[in-house]
Amino acid sequence: MTDHSPDTGARAPAPLGQDDPATVIVFGNEKGGSGKSTGSMHVTVALLRLGFKVGSIDLDMRQWTLTRYLSNRAASMKNEGISMPMPVHVFFSRSDKPNRQDAEAEDRTRFGAVLKKLRSESDFVVIDCPGTDTYVGRLATGYADKLVTPLNDSFVDLDMLANVDGRTGEIIKPSVYSEMVWEARKQKAARDGSSLDWIVMRNRLSSLAARNKLEMERVVGLLAKRIGFRVAPGFSERVIFRELFLRGLTMLDVFEIGDSGKPQLSHVAARQEVRGLLNALQLPNRIPTPHSSQPNDEAIETPPVIGDEGAEQK
Ligand SMILES: Nc1ncnc2c1ncn2[C@@H]1O[C@H](COP(=O)(O)OP(=O)(O)O)[C@@H](O)[C@H]1O
Ligand SMILES: [Mg+2]
């Protein structure tokens, strides 16, 4: 079709640059073990490897998974003499004030300050939320430009989005989490008129149980229209995702540091899935902020972790 509209020169918006605040990508849901930290880490490294400056925030003070993932990465660089890009990382400890109102006020002020700093210094800020309802988790959701909710490919996990009739697949009512996202959307629109793009990422897809998978697809599609999210292709169930944690590596590193051993087709496919997720996020066009190419392995301090079990052993 011919475009007869006057040429205003405004068809493609100018790419965002270093003076524009960073795009905030929040990984959240109210379910442990669904892939928030794995997704946060992979998206962070994917953006770093595209040359962007990334700030990351770990809000999960019970697990500190993203923080430990990055600590493991810093240790690998030191011990193995390899160089990998690092984000500027902050692990956020909640206020220990006994009074709830005082604690929330302190969290709000501190979170606001951290986010303001990272947004002004980075191209993207990636926030990893805990798998439970917390005040800072809700606060972060209210600042999300992109909210990514990983969903294990099982009907048990659908509960997190809505109550679904097990027999008919009919949606009974949105979940508490969906209502929280709705509130966050309203808050964000009221604050500065901006929108929150909610993306549900189906994770740990298996090639088995084809019937169950199709049924999930159908119900998730219905929910998407009803609750207002987009569906992104997630990662397949792959042992490699668990193995990479201990060395702090992602699928975007194994080839780049020459660590893929015998090239495996499944590794190439896994890397493609990560890139697929990044594309599905539909991030704004940005010019990467120039930054030091030196890996920033000093930014990570070891947080006060309770117990020493591997974060992947949940
Ligand atoms: N696609 C996947 N295939 C295999 N294991 C996965 C996949 N995604 C996540 N995992 C593993 O599942 C566990 C929980 O993932 P994690 O990202 O920590 O979840 P969350 O942050 O939501 O609690 C981790 O051991 C992680 O390595
Ligand atoms: Mg986590």
What's the pLDDT at 294?
47
Query: Pairing state of beta strands 124-128 and 88-91?
Result: unpaired
Residue 47 has pLDDT above 70, yes or no: yes
Give which of 289, 303, 314 is closest to 21, Cα–Cα: 289
The CA-atom distances, in angstroms, between 74 and each of 35, 158, 294 are 22, 36, 12
Q: What is the mean pLDDT of residues 66-87?
A: 94
154-163, 213-222, 284-293: range with lowest mean pLDDT: 284-293
| DSSP H stretches of helix in 25-84 | 36-49, 65-80
CA distance 307 to 247: 19
> How confident is residue 304, by pLDDT bands cut at 50, 70 and 90?
very low
Percent of the chain with pLDDT over 90: 63
> How confident is residue 290, by pLDDT bands cut at 50, 70 and 90?
confident
What's the pLDDT at 7?
52
Give the Å distance between the CA of 150 and the centre of ligand 1: 10
Q: Which domains does the chain have, with CATH numbers?
A: 23-280 (3.40.50.300)
Residue 212 has pLDDT above 90, yes or no: no
Across all residues in the chain, what is the average pLDDT?
86
In which order are the strands placed within the sheet that holds 230-232?
A: 88-91, 54-58, 124-128, 23-27, 146-152, 197-203, 230-232
Provide residues with CB under 6 Å of ligand 1. 32-38, 65, 131, 203-204, 235, 237-238, 241-242, 245, 312, 314
Q: What is the mean pLDDT of residues 49-68?
A: 95
Residue 311 has pLDDT above 50, yes or no: no
CA distance 272 to 38: 15
Q: What is the mean pLDDT of residues 212-237?
A: 89
Segment 153-165, tens digit of pLDDT: 887 888 889 988 8
Q: Whose CA is nearest to atom 11 of ligand 1?
A: 242
The CA-atom distances, in angstroms, between 160 and each of 173, 186, 308, 311 are 11, 20, 29, 22
Give which of 55, 62, 59, 37 is closest to 107, Cα–Cα: 59
Pocket test for ligand 1, best of 26, 30, 34, 38 (most atoms within 8 A of CB): 38
What's the pLDDT at 87?
96
Q: What is the mean pLDDT of residues 193-199?
A: 96
The 3-state DSSP class for residue 284 equals coil
Query: Cβ neighbours of residue 222 under 8 Å, at least 6 residues apart?
Result: 169, 171
Q: Whose CA is nearest to atom 9 of ligand 1?
A: 35
What's the pLDDT at 263?
64
Residue 259 has pLDDT above 80, yes or no: no
Cβ neighbours of 135 (radius 10 Å): 16
Give which of 79, 25, 96 is closest to 56, Cα–Cα: 25
CA distance 215 to 211: 6
State the DSSP string of 135-169.
Answer: HHHHHHHTT-SEEEEEEESSHHHHTTTEEE-TTT-
Cβ neighbours of 278 (radius 10 Å): 17
Dihedral in degrees, nearest 10, Cα atoms 82, 88, 93, 95: 170
What's the pLDDT at 19?
82
Q: What is the mean pLDDT of residues 43-60?
A: 96
Quick check: 230 and 281 in contact, CB under 8 A?
no
Closest ligand 1 atom, residue 39 Cα? 17
Q: What is the mean pLDDT of residues 185-209?
A: 90
Quick check: 115 and 125 in contact, CB under 8 A?
yes
| DSSP H stretches of helix in the chain | 36-49, 65-80, 100-121, 135-141, 155-158, 176-192, 210-223, 239-244, 265-280
Q: Whose CA is nearest to atom 12 of ligand 1?
A: 33
